[in-house]
């Protein structure tokens, strides 16, 4: 399962590198919900994140994200301590901090030109991130860091970029490469040899036996008997002559 998760991460990263030109070190914006989940499942973010993404990373947060985590009370005290260990990116919301989701979306902007990753467990923030093409989303599933599959907006933007970048017959090849980087190679279906089929049992009808009237059977048998009695018997020539002579003698 771990190997499969790493393979998916490599494919998705290749997509972001080829289409949106992401490069190391990867800048990852982290909020309090992500650090709280990491604390619950004892996940070392500084150690696991570079290994999972396969390169250098910059773990970032903002004053707004820290202030929001601290305002949620003592239950997130440990999460706020972890958050304070990361580099603080200036967001321009001082002295009136906003929510972490609004703060992160203001940094990402409409096109994510600074190539930020967003690490969060907040479903509302995740939905907003999905709408920005070329914005990778990272979350924790139990004790494992997971890079989410590129959203539909990112995939659509990737196809448009590839279409404008190439012309002619190379378009399909480039699109195939993009899909391959996201979904991997498609398994080739093995051709099955067709077996010789026998005749359809429904099409081969059995010969129906003709029903015969019993009265007709009697007639046939009677006719057969009469014919057999009326058959002529061949008599020898000398016997015929003898019978004729006998008949003429009796007449006299």
As a whole number of angstroms, the distance between CA 159 and CA 153 comes to 10
Residue 15 is predicted with a pLDDT of 94
Residue range 40-65, pLDDT digits in tens: 999 999 999 999 999 999 999 999 99
Task: With H, G, I as helix, E, B as strand and everything else as coil, classify residue 164.
Answer: helix
For residue 99, which of 141, 64, 126 has the smallest C-alpha distance? Answer: 64
Residue 77: phi and psi, rounded to 5, are: -65, -45
- Beta carbons of 117 and 34 less than 8 angstroms apart: no
Residue 14 is predicted with a pLDDT of 94
Pairing of strands 116-119, 26-30: parallel
Task: With H, G, I as helix, E, B as strand and everything else as coil, classify residue 16.
Answer: helix
Q: At what angle do helices 152-165 and 2-20 cross, to 10 degrees?
A: 50
Tokens 């999972």 found at = 52
Residue 240 is predicted with a pLDDT of 72
Residue 144 is predicted with a pLDDT of 94
Whether a cis peptide bond, with omega within 30° of 0, leads into 185 is no
Q: Which two tokens stand for residue 64?
A: 């707004």
Concatenated DSSP letters for 58-70? EEEE-HHHHHHHH
Low-confidence stretches of the chain (pLDDT < 50) are: 168-169
Residue 102 is predicted with a pLDDT of 96
Residue 213 is predicted with a pLDDT of 63
Q: Which two tokens stand for residue 87?
A: 């580099």
């Amino acid at each position: 399962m771990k190997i499969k998760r790493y393979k998916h991460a490599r494919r998705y990263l290749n997509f972001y590198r080829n289409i949106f030109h992401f490069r190391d070190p990867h800048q990852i914006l982290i909020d309090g919900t992500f650090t709280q989940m990491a604390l619950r499942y004892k996940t070392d973010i500084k150690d696991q994140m570079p290994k999972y993404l396969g390169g250098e990373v910059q773990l970032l947060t903002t004053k707004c994200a820290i202030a929001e985590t601290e305002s949620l009370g003592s239950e997130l005290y440990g999460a706020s301590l972890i958050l304070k260990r990361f580099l603080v990116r200036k967001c321009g919301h001082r002295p009136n901090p906003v929510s972490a989701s609004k703060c992160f979306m203001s940094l990402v902007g409409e096109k994510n030109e600074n190539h930020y990753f967003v690490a969060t467990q907040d479903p509302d923030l995740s939905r907003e991130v999905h709408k920005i093409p070329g914005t990778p989303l990272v979350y924790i599933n139990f004790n494992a860091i997971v890079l989410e599959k590129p959203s539909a907006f990112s995939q659509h933007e990737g196809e448009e970029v590839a279409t404008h970048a190439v012309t002619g017959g190379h378009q399909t090849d480039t699109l195939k490469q993009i899909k391959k980087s996201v979904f991997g190679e498609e398994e080739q279906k093995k051709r099955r040899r067709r077996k010789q089929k026998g005749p359809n049992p429904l099409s081969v009808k059995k010969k129906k036996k003709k029903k015969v009237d019993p009265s007709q059977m009697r007639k046939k048998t009677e006719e057969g008997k009469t014919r057999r009695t009326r058959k002529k018997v061949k008599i020898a020539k000398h016997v015929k002559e003898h019978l004729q002579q006998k008949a003429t003698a009796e007449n006299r």
